[in-house]
Structure 1
């Protein structure tokens, strides 16, 4: 009996020794909104999604987190994300951000990510990329229009930005090539040796040093602007990482140097984070940056 009681005491003592999970990091002044769920939204969407994969030469971590403002007011997460692999050499990753002014925009964002795998065109060579990307985006816009018709609302109510990356493994495995396409202001970043480089030209140095972000694409959204497709190709070699994000992460990346520096430090380590660790990293707080936050990180290993 004494041995049993002693084991129980030791077990309880060990449980008490487990450290509490740390609060998310705060950059700058602490926001007035607490980082915790408030009322349940009338529209039921999960507060958070998290996903990941270990593939041939790639490690993927992804999460979509409801912003603290949406949590406080009990409104649904308007961001969405999606991952899909063909079982061979092609990975599709996408993120979408429903426009905040549109009540049903979360439906548009979710629809875009859900139908993307079924609308993926063949991307056999860079010369075909522009045409293939426009066809891909146009098909997704058509799906959003059809969803709006089924719900008896105007397509404008489902407005969403959208970004997708099709990552293809080269036949010899030396590199992976990412074809990235977007409509709107979602961001794509390349991380190498601790340094960030924007994949799209508008994220220039002046913005990153704290200037006002250029807003040339902020009003572009599907299904309306399906012809306004931006396309870029990035080669990924061992040690590289590709970040896809909605503007809930892209804006603090651009305008808060501490955020860029800390994320680069975390995501340049030899081993990518676990799923719980990745969620914690993405849960950081920065004053005025309380929008939904979605990111897909793709490490080339």
Structure 2
């Protein structure tokens, strides 16, 4: 008897949902109008993450609608590296919007954080000044500017880093600039580094390496540490965005990588800047 061969089964392509609109519909559409032609241009978006013992990490950096519309490169950057079996290095950086090569500065700052890891560890473990680490990063930024043949201030950027230790259940956070670190505990957001009003504008690298801030954050089971640039921090000052993001990230189940990317891609009126976030859940 002739055996009939089973026909292959194909799953039809499903339509991916558009990003969630929170509040009023923004004017600009979330599509790429022009592919940027810029030195050191990086992809429109990045996605990364890992599921480690007692820690789940999701990271994404997304070009804002305004930069997509205008054909401008993504000026945010991020980095995520495993230091050893129990520690991670995470960093986010935001290039200054008025500098044409600031996308090079943010990417270089993240790479420099990894290159100068020993200096950062000496700060976290031995209490040496954070200014030493940021001074090393500033030196690397200045050298990159020299290689590009441009003034160092055209690579201006902010930098926020965290060494996350799963054995100690804590994170050592440090920054120059307006990068934001927040702890989500039982649905409530708490700033890890205070945002003070009425003070001078936040510093930037390479010129303000002495204006470093640091904090140690204890991570309880179920906590989530968020590192982000202003593209997420600013809309989260509004109640609608803050509550929606909390509803997503306070769930007992950590989002998958595609789900995390979709969540971070939400649209909100008057908030069309690049958006970068690294989230670390203690499981």
The TM-score normalised by the length of structure 1 is 0.86
CA contact (8 A) 1:122 1:132 kept: no
8 Å CA contact retained: 1:185, 1:217: no
Change (3 A) 1:125 1:220: closer
In 1, distance between residues paired with 2:201 and 2:124? 27
Question: Which of 85-94 and 238-247 deviates more?
Answer: 85-94
TM-aligned CA deviation for residue 56 of structure 1: 2.4
Change (3 A) 1:132 1:219: closer
- Which runs of 5 or more residues in structure 1 are unaligned? 204-213
* Aligned 8 A contact 1:244 1:295 in 2: yes
Q: Does 1:238 align with 2:235?
A: no
Counterpart contact for 2:96–2:157, Cα < 8 Å: yes
SS in structure 2 at match of 1:107: helix
CA distance in 2, matches of 1:115, 1:29: 39
1:116, CA displacement in angstroms?
1.1
Structure 1 counterpart of 2:188, from 185, 188, 195: 195
- In structure 1, how many angstroms separate the alpha carbons of the residues matched to 2:124 and 2:116? 19
2:259 corresponds to 1:259: no
Match of 1:160 among 150, 157, 162: 157
Whether 1:296 aligns to 2:273 is no
Q: 1:282 to 1:134 in 2, by over 3 A?
A: same
Offset of residue 85 of structure 1: 0.9
SS at match of 2:104: helix
Cα 1:215–1:139 change in 2 (3 A) is farther
> Contact 2:123–2:133 (CA<8 Å) still a contact in 1?
no
Deviation at 1:118?
Answer: 1.9
Task: State the match for 1:106 in structure 2.
Answer: 103
Paired residue for 2:254, among 269, 272, 285? 272
Map 1:11-26 to 2 at 5 A. Answer: 11=9, 15=12, 19-26=14-21
1:219–1:26 distance in 2 versus 1, CA, 3 Å: same
Deviations 1:189-216 (A, max 9, x none): 000111111111217xxxxxxxxxx374
Match of 1:40 in 2: 35
Match of 1:228?
211
Shift of 1:177: 1.4
Distance 1:237 1:118, change over 3 A: same
Task: Give the aligned partner of residue 179 of structure 1.
Answer: 172
The whole-number CA distance in structure 1 between the counterparts of 2:231 and 2:201 is 12
More helix by share: 1
Distance 1:124 1:239 in 2: 29
Aligned to 1:134: 131
> Mind listing any 5+ residue stretches in structure 2 that lack a counterpart?
none
Which TM-score applies when normalising by structure 2? 0.92
Root mean square deviation of aligned Cα: 2.0
Distance apart, 1:132 and its partner CA: 4.3
- Relative distance call for 1:290 and 1:217 in structure 2 (3 A) is farther
2:264 paired residue number: 282
